[in-house]
């Protein structure tokens, strides 16, 4: 099953990846699509593009709630 991405982003991975919370160090496995969205959120946050941040966070809450709680909450 393919989940529509919240915005255009590059999917670089072909296998799931362990991603760690930058503050707590807690990790969770993400699909390549989720990694691409997560990386986009982090980059958008750095440059102040909060519309992308919000869309990405909303997408995570809907499709990957456990990952949202570990990485973005």
pLDDT digits (tens, 9 = 90+) for 18-59: 999 999 999 999 999 999 999 999 999 999 999 999 999 999
**Quick check: 61 pLDDT over 90?**
yes
Question: What percent of the chain has a predicted confidence (pLDDT) above 90?
Answer: 97
With bands split at pLDDT 50, 70 and 90, how would you rate the model's confidence at 2?
confident
Is 34 within a domain?
yes
When pLDDT is cut at 50, 70 and 90, the band that residue 60 belongs to is very high
Residue 4 counted as domain residue? no
Tokens 């990952």 belong to residue: 67
- Check: CB of residue 5 under 8 Å from CB of residue 37: yes
- Structural domain containing residue 23: 17-71
Residue 3 lies in a domain: no
Q: How many distinct structural domains can be found in the chain?
A: 1
Q: Is the pTM of this model over 0.85?
A: yes
């Amino acid at each position: 099953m393919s989940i529509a991405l919240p915005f255009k982003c590059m999917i670089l991975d072909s296998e799931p990846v362990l991603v760690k919370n930058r503050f707590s160090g807690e990790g969770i496995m993400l699909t390549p699509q989720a990694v691409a969205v997560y990386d986009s959120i982090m980059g958008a946050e750095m440059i102040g593009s909060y519309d992308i941040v919000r869309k990405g966070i909303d997408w995570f809450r809907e499709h990957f709630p456990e990952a949202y709680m570990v990485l973005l909450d």
